[in-house]
Structure 1
Amino acid sequence: MARSASLNEEMRAESRQKILAAALEVFAEKGYHGATITEITRRAGVSRGLASYYFPNKHLLVDELIDAYLDGVAAVVDVPGTPDERLAGIIDGVLGGLLENLPVQGVILSLVVQPSTHPIFAEVEARKDERLSLLEDSLRELFAGRGAEDPAVEEVMLRSVLEGVIYKAVVYGPQYPVEQVRRWLYRTYGLPEPETTLSGEEPAPVGRLRASDRGF
């Protein structure tokens, strides 16, 4: 019996996701240059031909990974409520995602900043210019609603601070005090103190940050 079109589509989508998930793993372990399509294919459990059909080269894999990442960034601002509630939701969305997917954040960050893959990031960012502009405008409207003197600068600074937090968390791994930084951001923006933690556990005291050779 022939498979239905919807089942075929579902299987294709599943195969693509397996390949992308495997690519993230291999990029995390071996870096962009050390990763091979052969290893990604083996890790995904699919045939080389199928992987090459969807992603003929690593460039296209990086393009798709960064594309999905930017979609996630843009989606974070889509929270309802007052300007203060939205700001708290954005902070929690970014930091909560960081706690859940620290290795993924590290891979994406490396792909964004590496000279060999940064042009791919620039291509994807240009392709998504309209949606990213909506994100920027949404944040600027949020800060205007909070009475900011220069909403554009506030938008740039919020994104810069959050991206800096992501960078430091990637460098220092689980020892980075995400929850304490979250509370600092709440105080800095005059938001009510959060009643719960993002992880559901009380954070350990802040220590001295030192990089580890054991990774994440």
Structure 2
Amino acid sequence: MSPRSAQVNQEMREQSQQRILEAALMAFAERGYEGTTIAQIAERAGVARGLVSYYFPAKEQLLQALLGQALAGFLALTDPAEDEITPDQRLAGCINRTLTSAAGTIGIQRLVLCLMLQPGTREIFVGVEAAQAEVVGELERRLRAIFAERGAENPALEEVMFRSVLEGVVFKMAVYPQTYPLAAVRHRLLTMYGLPAGDPPDEPVQPLRAM
């Protein structure tokens, strides 16, 4: 049997790392960051504990990798589709992709929000943002370019407000996943920015209840 090629070995390493990261994400979501051990992550991933430590010598590095993936995912949501040529189309695409993605990954969104706010992990999150300065900077640049093309007097402020609104929506979705009126909020967001939104949804908006 011929030895595996370097490319195959690299692909296997990447698959192992991703399996470990997915297991860590689920474990952190269930037990919290502080309450999760490397042994529990290894068991969930179906790998030896030593393999987890080989790729991620400390639990903090697992968290850093997960947050780095989350930031990269946020940036990808600003990638325009082929038919999104005008700034209005690109902005509408950002809104729709962000809300759709958040709705399909509520568990991940809730975990990221917790990591951002918990005292034990807040410093790690800040450190990841600093290490991912290029990604964060590119996200800001893309959004500010959209608002500049739309004729905003202060594109930087518009970018901050836009991200604040979206982050607030995602936060509420994570807290009230069963009752949050996503369709109505999506329609309101689009109309708030003067974007085509179609007819408003028919379903009535109910008061949000505690989880």
Superposition TM-score, scaled by structure 2 size: 0.93
Percent identity of paired positions between Structure 1 and Structure 2: 50
Select which of 108, 112, 116 maps to 1:108: 112
| Structure 1 gap ranges (5+) | none
**Count of aligned pairs between the two proteins:** 207
* Worse-matched range after superposition: 183-192 or 2-11: 2-11
Contact 2:191 2:197 in 1 (8 A): yes
Contact 1:105 1:170 in 2 (8 A): yes
Select which of 171, 181, 189 maps to 1:167: 171
Distance 1:96 1:15 in 2: 28
Q: 1:34 to 1:189 in 2, by over 3 A?
A: same
Select which of 95, 102, 105 maps to 1:98: 102
Select which of 81, 86, 102 maps to 2:85: 81
Q: Counterpart in 2 of 1:145?
A: 149
1:38 and 2:42 equivalent? no
Contact 2:71 2:135 in 1 (8 A): no
> Secondary structure, in 3 states, of the residue corresponding to 1:33?
coil
Distance 2:128 2:52 in 1: 21
Distance 1:105 1:21 in 2: 14
Give a deviation string over 1:130-155, Cα, whole Å, max 9, x none: 23222212211111111112111110
Residue 211 of structure 1 deviates from its aligned partner by 2.2
Superposition TM-score, scaled by structure 1 size: 0.90
Residue 165 of structure 1 deviates from its aligned partner by 0.7
Residue 83 of structure 1 deviates from its aligned partner by 0.5
Distance 2:17 2:137 in 1: 28
Select which of 117, 123, 126 maps to 2:121: 117
Give a deviation string over 1:8-67, Cα, whole Å, max 9, x none: 111111111111111111111111111111111100011111111011221001100000
Residue 205 of structure 1 deviates from its aligned partner by 3.1
Amino acid paired to 1:160: S
Amino acid paired to 1:65: L
1:26 and 2:24 equivalent? no
1:176 and 2:176 equivalent? no
Amino acid paired to 2:60: H
Distance 2:70 2:150 in 1: 28
Contact 2:27 2:41 in 1 (8 A): yes
Q: Counterpart in 1 of 2:210?
A: 211
Contact 1:179 1:203 in 2 (8 A): no
Q: Counterpart in 2 of 1:185?
A: 189
Distance 1:150 1:12 in 2: 46
> Secondary structure, in 3 states, of the residue corresponding to 1:175?
coil
* Worse-matched range after superposition: 143-152 or 157-166: 143-152
